[in-house]
Amino acid sequence: MDNDRVLIVGGGVIGLSIGWKLARAGKGVVVFDRDRAGGAASWASAGMLSPLAEVRFEEEPLLRLGLKSLAMYPDFVAELEADTGQAVGYRKDGVLLVGVSQDDLADLEFRYRFQKELGLEVAWLNGAEARAREPHLGGQVSAAVWCPGDHQVDNRLLVAALATGLEKAGGTLKEGASVDELVMEGNRVRGVRVGEEVYEGEMVVLSAGCWSGRLPGLPDEIRPPVRPVKGQIIRLQMTDAVRPHTIVWYNRWASSVSVYLAPKDGGHLVVGATSEEMGFDTELTAGGMFELLRAAWEVLPGVYDLPIVETLAGLRPGSRDDAPILGTTAIDGLIMATGHYRKGILLTPMTAHYISELILTGEVSEVIRPFGLERFL
Amino acid sequence: MDNDRVLIVGGGVIGLSIGWKLARAGKGVVVFDRDRAGGAASWASAGMLSPLAEVRFEEEPLLRLGLKSLAMYPDFVAELEADTGQAVGYRKDGVLLVGVSQDDLADLEFRYRFQKELGLEVAWLNGAEARAREPHLGGQVSAAVWCPGDHQVDNRLLVAALATGLEKAGGTLKEGASVDELVMEGNRVRGVRVGEEVYEGEMVVLSAGCWSGRLPGLPDEIRPPVRPVKGQIIRLQMTDAVRPHTIVWYNRWASSVSVYLAPKDGGHLVVGATSEEMGFDTELTAGGMFELLRAAWEVLPGVYDLPIVETLAGLRPGSRDDAPILGTTAIDGLIMATGHYRKGILLTPMTAHYISELILTGEVSEVIRPFGLERFL
């Protein structure tokens, strides 16, 4: 009977959500999680669901995927909260994408035009209009794009609820369990090894974030091209006097820094994040903290007096084209769900739905077909 | 026999150094230390011995006291290192007092003239000359005052060596011992109470930093007027590529921030410190960290890539006139050695010498006489 089960390598939001969906459908599932906090993107993230604010100029299919997942969020959250009785801090605040300098404004206008071309619901605001929407914005903010469709969750509450959901539905979460090897038999997976113990299963899902390409036993030609992209992040404690209610996003042209400030229900204001190609390093740096604090202070001067609750760095799993790697592989029974880069939290409902569907029915949906590992081969 | 001993309330550099001197002279000593790290100035400090760089315009007697203590440092350190076999990181690097903006320069020139009037050995350098002395200085630095007589120690090594010295000489250090009450008998001290236990002694030295005014049992008219002045500080890890060898001090006029960068033998670059009237609060704030990082980056741009090893806040014991409170009080057997504000490490040899002399001989030296508690009465 154990041979029937699905083994999931990685207990971030991707692995847990797939596990939860499978367990709900009656499938045997074991999720292996090495360390919830240590550098993991799901833990370090700010829980932004912001495909509109993040629109750039090369990635319309990825944008559509994000919008699809965003649309799935209300039902996904309702189901998860009903299953577990745990709130995940889903907030439909909207994002104010703000600019200060002339260069910022030129960039903002360019983005705005592109958003409009894509048919997205966004609005151009002058400084005063932006401050009317978020009174904590500083006087330096000269214009903004209002993205009402962008939302957020509390990423840590989401991780916790998914873990509960998985276990309530009959799945198993093995915490502190580092998968040491993918165990193969000819061209199909047989299971995974953790220390001395081999767990057998019908399928293995690789959802180990930026560590996905490093799993021993994985044949070289199947290694997903994911790399760590370091993000430093600061959590501030909001006070009664300084409590913004809108997510503010500031692409600071002069320093090529993109900073968001996301107020959370629990009282944290999450200020993130740098984007650094530094391998698996998770050290905080003077420059990283400086860039975040400067940008935050320029657009929300009230942050100046807020206590720093936490500083940390996480590692996003970046793929070669910034899009996730989803679906079957040339190895029987091995499924990929990794490489979500900056959009892991956003893409969770979509990934959980289509990957669990694939596992349960064998069908690869047209939605995820363009995002298979084959595109890199 | 126990009635003969001296009880010292507070195990920072002041209390420990007095205890060490007394124990060396054969006196029985117990030093009570509540918590070496928690907010204590000796631990949070950067170990600057910089009376020249810190010259301001109101405090010549205090300057002279600092210069006197600085001159005592070589012998003090030699004796302590010989007693204990522990190095304290004494370095005669000198301080570069730097400026960037026109306002900084005007301020710097004003200070320089005042330093010269006082007969101090300092030299004016243009930007290129300053960079010749410290190649890590950024191109923005437009002038500097070179203060070769300013030195530094490693404050944490100093605390550790003094604790060893005290115990090697026969004194007792009670760590984690919070003194709950000063125990009096008529108009003289009888001892101190820690929890349920009363320690008797001939004399009590109050050297509890910013907590000195709060000791229960202390008559109101004897409470030293000390208050906590919060300093946030960052420790960076130097690398082979970024390893300045000179202390850099930057009074940034535009933001009224005074930041020093002190390279330590162990590889830390200590960047401090804010100066905030916030009561006993030791939280880090966004603004505090931002000011330190911005100023550090402006004058030593190489800090940008350095890892942050530690962030903390300490509480300086500020007196009403910024000078220490030294000597006898109206209560028999009660000695004060507190209120050293920004200069606790600098003033340690002087304080240890004259306070232990006072305890051993009953004589109040002319050196410390102007700094008695009476001046506030």
CATH of the domain at A278: 3.30.9.10
Q: Of the candidates B319, B336, B360, which is a domain's last residue?
A: B319
Q: What is the pLDDT of residue A1?
A: 46
**Mean of all residue pLDDT scores within chain A:** 95
pLDDT band, residue A56 (cuts 50/70/90) = confident
Residues of B in contact with A303 (CB under 8 A): 286-287
Question: Which pLDDT score, from 0 to 100, does residue B89 have?
Answer: 96
- Is pLDDT at B14 greater than 50 in this prediction? yes
Q: Is the pLDDT of residue B1 over 60?
A: no
A117 within a domain of the structure (yes/no) = yes
Task: Tell me whether residues A308 and B285 touch, CB distance under 8 A.
Answer: yes
Asked whether residue B137 falls in the same domain as residue B255, the answer is yes
Number of domains in chain A: 2
pLDDT for A36: 83
Please check whether residue B66 lies inside any domain of the structure: no
B289 touches chain A (CB under 8 A): yes
- pLDDT over 70 at B182, yes or no: yes
Boundary residue ending a domain (A300, A319, A338): A319
pLDDT confidence bin for B58, thresholds 50/70/90? low
For residues B172 and B303, membership in a common domain is answered with: no
Note whether B113 contacts A: Cβ–Cβ < 8 A: no
Mean pLDDT to the nearest integer, B10-23? 98
Is the per-residue pLDDT at B4 higher than 90?
Answer: no
**Model pLDDT for residues B309-357, shown as the tens digit of each residue:** 999 999 999 999 999 999 999 999 999 999 999 999 999 999 999 999 9
* Distance of alpha carbon A46 from alpha carbon A49, whole angstroms: 9
Q: How far apart are CA A33 and CA A179, in angstroms?
A: 8
Q: Whole-number mean pLDDT of chain B? A: 95
How many Cβ atoms from other residues are within 10 Å of residue B36's Cβ? 16
In a domain, B210, yes or no: yes
Q: Has residue B54 been placed in a domain?
A: no
Say whether residue A307 is in contact with chain B using an 8 A CB cutoff: yes
Mean pLDDT of the B359-376 span: 96
Whether residues A341 and A206 share a domain: the answer is yes
Residues 224-253 of A with CB under 8 A from B: 234, 236
Which domain-ending residue is among A303, A319, A335?
A319
On whether both A237 and A135 belong to a single domain, the answer is yes
Give yes or no: residues A201 and A325 share one domain: yes
Residue B58: inside a domain, yes or no? no
Compute φ and ψ for A107, nearest 5 degrees. Answer: -65, -40
> What mean pLDDT do residues A187-191 have?
96
Our CA angle for B56, A304, B226, nearest 5°, is 45
The answer, for B26 touching chain A at a CB cutoff of 8 Å, is no
A203 and A338: one domain? yes
Which of B:151-180 have CB within 8 Å of A? none
* Banded pLDDT at A377 (limits 50, 70, 90): confident
Sheet of B181-185: strand order equals: B181-185, B188-194, B197-200
The answer, for B312 touching chain A at a CB cutoff of 8 Å, is no
pLDDT per residue over A57-111, tens digit each? 768 899 999 999 999 999 999 999 999 999 999 999 899 999 999 999 999 999 9
Residue where the block lists tokens 């903006």: B101
Is residue A325 a part of any domain in this protein? yes
Which A residues in the span 265-284 are in contact with B, Cβ-Cβ below 8 Å? 271, 283-284
Cβ <8 Å between B308 and A284: yes
Q: How far is B294 from chain A (nearest CA, A)?
A: 7
Same domain, B169 and B306: no
DSSP code at position A160 = H
A290/B285 CB distance under 8 A: no
Nearest-CA distance B8 → chain A (Å): 34
Instruction: Answer yes or no: do B311 and A306 touch at CB < 8 A.
Output: no
pLDDT at B37 over 90: no
Residue whose C-alpha is closest to residue B225's, from B315, B325, B134, B132: B325
Which chain B residues touch A297 with a CB distance below 8 Å? Answer: 286-287, 290
How much of chain B exceeds pLDDT 70, in percent?
99
Window from A164-178, B37-51, B66-80 with minimum mean pLDDT: B37-51
On whether the pTM is more than 0.95, the answer is no
Q: Which CA distances in Å does B333 have to B8, B22, B200, B336?
A: 12, 15, 12, 10
Q: Are residues A114 and A171 in the same domain?
A: no
- CATH number of residue B37's parent domain: 3.50.50.60
Contact criterion met (CB < 8 Å) for A287 and B308? no
In a domain, B211, yes or no: yes
Say if residue A276 is in the same domain as residue A312.
Answer: yes
Contacts of B294 in chain A (CB under 8 A): 290, 294
The question of ipTM being above 0.85 is answered as yes
Range of the domain at A296: 95-148+228-319
**In 3-state terms, what secondary structure has residue A238?**
coil
Model confidence at B87: pLDDT above 70? yes
Residue B147 · residue B94 · CB < 8 Å: yes
- Residue that is written with structure tokens 């790290």 in the block: B37
Position A334 in a domain: yes
Based on the fold, state whether residues A173 and A25 are members of the same structural domain: yes
Per the CB < 8 Å rule, is A303 touching B284? no
**Residues B194 and B220 placed together within one structural domain of the fold:** yes
Is the pLDDT at B42 greater than 80? The verdict is yes
Whether residues B127 and B165 share a domain: the answer is no
Residue A346 φ/ψ, nearest 5 degrees: -55, -45
